[in-house]
Structure 1
Amino acid sequence: MVISKYNLLILFIWCFSLTNCQNKKMEEKYSWLGTVSAPQEYPMEVYEGAIVADDFTYGFDAIWGTQNTGWGKEGGTMNVNTERMDAPHELEFTWYSLVEKKFYTGKWNLDKEKIKTLFDEGFVDQDTKKKSTYSSFVVGLAPQGRVVLWMKGPGNQKEIGAFQAHDTVITKEKAYDNAQYMLKEGFADRMLKDPSYKTFKPEVREKIEKEGYPAADIYNVYREKYNWKPAVILPEGATWIDFGFTNYNGEQENLFDQSLKDNTYKSRAVPRFCGFYWKDKNNNRYAVWIDAFDDKEIFDLFQKSGKDKNIDLTIKVNEDNTRVLVSLESEKEKLPVTKAKIRVSRKIE
């Protein structure tokens, strides 16, 4: 059989296209694991769950135990043999809320294209100065069946979905063997009230005893966003190096090099804590950490500033690099932040 030049060209184009498609398919595999997050004040007991991709399922069960690392903070992870997987398209989860003494369950579709875009875009890792990407999914379990899913990588965490579970009943007869302990009489009370179980950190337990549990709907309030950016004012001749921060909604950003130069107003949740480094005119390095804002004060100040305003989270360093003043500033208003817990380093050798 004689193959014409035209047919040969078509065959070449077909083979080239097939190779490209296969390569593209290979490029769409990602390396990821899963973990669980719950508020420190609202411990959750994992019953079962899964993050599901076409070619892989990352499972959860009672071996994960009690989770309350803090809202948005990852817990442990389980290693898997699979090295690269498709982007997941589904989340399902069932858990026991110890404070509410209720089981919740749900199954939700995920925005696979959004997940793939975040994987592909990635970010620059400040430590390595190389492009990196997200490596785990954090499943957040909150009171009243609220669920949030984040993607996490070094210095970065993005919310990719918020969902609503419904309560369910799981009986001793229905529960699988390894989860039977959750159904034992008095289990929740022992976990919550007996200090020997160490469910809560001492300071968290003390706060609960003094103020009670946080309002169950606060985890929706945490997701509200304002148009703000960090603004650092340094003594003359000093250089701003970076700015890292975590917001109440669990998202995390790390600005440095080009991203710090491009620093601009973005729709972000209220910051929970932040920190940055700078060099003075003599090239001495310093750092400041705002370990915690006062919840009521910082939300009141953002609400007073308004969602329709551009807001600067302004941190002004004094001339001898020993103190800072923090405020929220918009076009016509400056509101001082007075209750934050702040640390300023000495000169870093």
Structure 2
Amino acid sequence: MGTNKFKFLILFVVCSFSLISCQNKRMEEKYNWLGTVSAPQEYPMEVYKGAIIADDFSYGFDAIWGTQNTGWGNEGGTMSVETRLMEIPNKLEFTWYSLVERKFYTGKWDLDKEKINDLFKKGFIDQDNNKKTTYTNFIVGLAPKGRVVLWINGPGNQTEVGAFQAHDTIITKEKAYENAKYMLKEGFADRMLDDPSYETFKPEIRAKIKEQGYPNPDVYEIYRERYNWKPSVIVPEGGEWIDFGFNNYNGEQENLFAESLHNDTYQKRAVPKFCGFYWRDKSKNRYAVWIDSFDEKEIFDLFQKLGKEEKIDLVIKVNPDNTKASLSLKTEKQELPITKAKIRLSRKIE
């Protein structure tokens, strides 16, 4: 083999390794992320042990996290760890005690690393500073019957990236590690649930449970059902719709503005729980509208009536001085009024 050919072969091999190395680096892009726990307000969960696991890092949970029930999809606390860039996790494992059900649940699951990596890489624009950013937290949702949902979130955005099923397990006082033995004390769940001095529930949640009982445990699966919908705000002539932020019952959250608002179209989304937006009138005065809450039964009944195959507009029509707004769900064939939502409207914002 001639010298030139030999040099070319060496160069080819080196370039090939460099290319593979570059590809691996691209694939294994690293991010700064933390973890937290979410549970329904009515179903407090006691963290026993868990971890969000990447090849180069494991974010752990144990009994120090205590009782969690910030609301489905809402962040709990976070434990600070040494700040560094981590790979996207590929596994989740979790064991917890469901106080209402008096049961321990446990499970280990593989995560869709590729899907999560793509979402982190794509990121989104932060409306507050108009700069591209990405997700910073993993939220482990613990629901009755051993249901687990994993979300990722960042400013104004939260996305479901996995749903799993745990199985019940038995942990005895003898088997439990020292810091978790309190969960096995006789009457622990009763005290946490029934004694108001423990403040496990907010007073309004305690009153709601007393009046209506605990929610149907299957509702956290029903919340995940998706419909093909988009927001549609109608402001007075000459006005401008500026943005639209909303949380859905399944714990997801979106914030549309500028390009994302302009390009928004029908997407498979869960039923909305809260939304709010700003608009300007023809004189450039700015106003805000907040739908603080929909009536759960009404909004689910209306979406179910229209069905998952229809393109649905969530229509919010604002009157000229921002003192009234009418709401409806609309398809090509019909329009159904939403009458029980709690709406707040601002005065002119200087």
Q: TM-score, normalised by structure 1?
A: 0.96
The answer to whether 1:93 aligns with 2:94 is yes
Q: Could you give the per-residue CA deviations for residues 280-301 of structure 1, whole angstroms, max 9, x where no partner exists? A: 1111111111111111010001
Identity of matched residues, %:
70
Aligned to 2:241: 240
The C-alpha deviation readout for 1:205-252, integer Å capped at 9, x for no partner, is 111111010000000100001000000000011111100111101111
Once the two structures are superposed, what CA deviation does each residue of 1:176-228 show, in whole Å capped at 9, x if it has no partner? Answer: 01001101111111111111111111111111111010000000100001000
SS in 1 for 2:81: coil
Q: Once the two structures are superposed, what CA deviation does each residue of 1:33-89 show, in whole Å capped at 9, x if it has no partner?
A: 110000000000000001111111110000000000000111111122251111111
Matches within 5 A, 1:107-118: 107-118=108-119
Give the letter for the 1:310 counterpart: K
Give deviations 1:12-40, integer Å, cap 9, x for gaps.
44444444544554451121111000000
1:39 aligns with 2:40: yes
**In 2, Cα distance between equivalents of 1:109 and 1:317:** 46
- How far does residue 5 in structure 1 lie from its aligned partner after superposition? 3.5
Q: Report the Cα offset of residue 8 of structure 1.
A: 3.3
Specify the code of the residue in structure 2 equivalent to 1:49: G
Greater Cα offset, 8-17 or 39-48 = 8-17
User: What is the CA deviation profile of residues 131-174 of structure 1, one whole-angstrom value per residue up to 9, with x for unaligned ones?
Assistant: 11111110000000000001111111111111100111111000
Counterpart-to-counterpart distance in 2, 1:115 and 1:307:
26
1:186 and 2:187 correspond: yes
Deviation at 1:120, TM superposition (A): 1.0
Q: Which runs of 4+ in 1 moved over 3 A?
A: 2-27
Separation (CA, whole Å) in 2 of partners of 1:229 and 1:41:
30
Q: For each residue in 1:233-278, what CA deviation from the matched residue of structure 2 results, as whole angstroms up to 9, or x when unmatched?
A: 0001111110011110111111111111111100100001010001
Q: 3-state SS of the aligned residue for 2:107?
A: strand
Number of the residue aligned with 1:226: 227
Task: Supply the AA of the counterpart residue of 2:3.
Answer: S
* Equivalence map 1:316-331=2 (5 Å): 316-331=317-332
Equivalent position of 1:141 in the other structure = 142
- AA paired with 2:218? D
SS at match of 2:141: strand
C-alpha distance in 1 between matches for 2:204 and 2:102:
23
Is 1:4 aligned to 2:30, yes or no? no
Please state whether the residue corresponding to 2:158 is helix, strand or coil.
strand
SS in 1 for 2:337: strand
Q: Pick which of 297-306 and 121-130 moved more.
A: 121-130
Deviates more, 1:322-331 or 1:74-83: 74-83
Closer, same or farther: CA 13–255 of 1 in aligned 2, 3 Å: farther
Counterpart of 2:201 in structure 1 is 200
Q: 1-side partners of 2:10 and 2:129: how far apart?
A: 44
Give 1:7 deviation, angstroms: 3.6
Gaps of 5+ in 1: none
- Structure 2 segments unaligned to the other structure (5+ residues): none
1 CA distance for matches of 2:246 and 2:4? Answer: 61
Give the letter aligned to residue 77 of structure 1: T
The one-letter code sitting in structure 2 at the alignment partner of 1:322 is T
Secondary structure of 1:188 counterpart: helix
State how far apart, in whole Å, the 2-side matches of 1:245 and 1:80 are. Answer: 30
**Amino acid of the structure 2 residue aligned with 1:126:** Q
- SS of 1:47's equivalent in the other structure is strand
Alpha-carbon distance in 1 for matches of 2:322, 2:5: 74
Instruction: Give the aligned length.
Output: 348
Amino acid at match of 2:107: G
User: Could you say what secondary structure the match of 1:281 adopts?
Assistant: coil
Give the secondary structure class of the aligned counterpart of 1:336. Answer: strand
**CA shift at 1:342, angstroms?**
0.9
* Structure 2 counterpart of 1:263: 264
Return the letter of the residue paired with 2:101: E
Does 12-21 or 253-262 show the bigger shift?
12-21
Counterpart mapping for 1:11-30 below 5 A: 11-27=10-26, 28-30=29-31
AA matched with 1:171: T
Q: Give the distance between the partners of 1:196 and 1:187, measured in 2 at CA.
A: 14
Partner of 2:84: 83
**Counterpart-to-counterpart distance in 1, 2:243 and 2:321:** 20
Compute the displacement of 1:305 (Å): 1.1
Distance in 2 between the 1:128 and 1:122 partners?
Answer: 14
**Is 1:168 the counterpart of 2:169 in the alignment?**
yes
